[in-house]
Amino acid sequence: MLASILQNLFNAFQWGSFYSLIALGYTLVYGVLRLINFAHGDIFMVGAYIAFFIASAFLGMTFSLPGWMILAMVIPLTMILTALVGVSIERIAYRPLRRKGAHRLYVVITALMCGLVLENGNLALFGASRKSFPDIVDKVVYTVGDLSMTNLKIGVVISAILVFVILHFIVTKTKIGMAMRAISYDKFAVPLMGIPIDTIIVFTFILGSSFAGLAGLLFAMSYPILDPYMGALIGWKAFIAAVVGGIGDIRGAFFGGFLLGFVEILVVAVFPSTFRELIAFAILMTILCIKPTGMFGVAGTTKI
């Protein structure tokens, strides 16, 4: 009994790590721009596909490299290319709208449409056949007592925590993080202070998208079947997790993602698996009804 609880807890940590990694990207963009970047889940999907192509290219080379070396090359390449995708979406779709001062909701609709383009463009270009991700690193199973864990799962949890620490450091301790917080505080006064607002926003997108790419790579390594719609549902769920944590707050996104992971895994452990979404969302809605601005959110005041 205790062993199964521990095992489930560990799986929940891993599952929550993915949600956290994606929710962090959502939160970063939201915190700076007040924009729900609905294309983020699909950027995660694009990251998984980019990782798949890079890894296949490396594994298909004539001379064989050791696994850790390939991984050490795939991770930065995936992150850079995914960040490029995210930034180009920002440049092509969001920035002109922001320049025109369009209503916030129109930007959200554009984001939704960009997500659809990424999903269906992927489906149209590469076909509906599911791709299976190659094994880069050999699986090693560690057993501690009754608890079995693989090196990959440990890597996922550690990278989620690392990303959280890095982001927290950037946002709270560096100058660029200060600029981000300043933009979310007052978008109109910041350019007057000589802060390059567009550079900061591009940097935000680079951060968020590259971590989405990392999440995509880790997800593809853990569950090696890729399909073009894999980002949609996970994206929506991670966004809900970010809101429950309190959107615009790094800690909130991190804990919200883990909370959703825990709830889902524990529901599956107790109830039949078709109840997973039902109960998870019901719990999240209850939390939102009790604390309308999320767990870490601060209640906003309205000036009349």
Binding site for other proteins (CB under 8 A): 30, 36, 93, 96-97, 100, 102-103, 105-106, 108-110, 112-114, 116-117, 119-121, 123-124, 232, 236, 239-240, 243-244, 247, 274-275, 277-278, 281-282, 284-285, 288-289, 292-294, 302, 304
Q: Which is nearer to other proteins, 145 or 300 (CB)?
A: 300
Tell me how far, at minimum, the Cβ of 276 lies from other proteins, in Å. Answer: 8
Q: Which is nearer to other proteins, 76 or 96 (CB)?
A: 96
Q: Which residues pair with 143 in a beta bridge?
A: 148
Task: State phi, psi for 87 to the nearest 5 degrees.
Answer: -65, -35
Task: State phi, psi for 38 to the nearest 5 degrees.
Answer: -70, -10
H or E element at residue 132: strand 131-132
The alpha carbon of residue 20 and the mean position of all alpha carbons in its chain are separated, in whole angstroms, by 6
Q: Which is nearer to other proteins, 112 or 182 (CB)?
A: 112
Tell me how far, at minimum, the Cβ of 242 lies from other proteins, in Å. Answer: 9
Task: Find tokens 């979404």 and name the residue.
Answer: 277
Tell me how far, at minimum, the Cβ of 63 lies from other proteins, in Å. Answer: 31
Strands 225-226 and 141-144: unpaired
Q: Are the beta carbons of 214 and 21 closer than 8 angstroms?
A: yes
SS3 (DSSP) at 36: coil
Tell me how far, at minimum, the Cβ of 169 lies from other proteins, in Å. Answer: 26
Q: Are the beta carbons of 134 and 150 closer than 8 angstroms?
A: no
H or E element at residue 90: none
Q: Which is nearer to other proteins, 39 or 201 (CB)?
A: 39
SS3 (DSSP) at 144: strand
Residue 5 has a CB neighbour count (10 Å cut-off) of 11
Q: Which is nearer to other proteins, 116 or 197 (CB)?
A: 116
Tell me how far, at minimum, the Cβ of 230 lies from other proteins, in Å. Answer: 14
Tell me how far, at minimum, the Cβ of 218 lies from other proteins, in Å. Answer: 25
Q: Which is nearer to other proteins, 55 or 247 (CB)?
A: 247
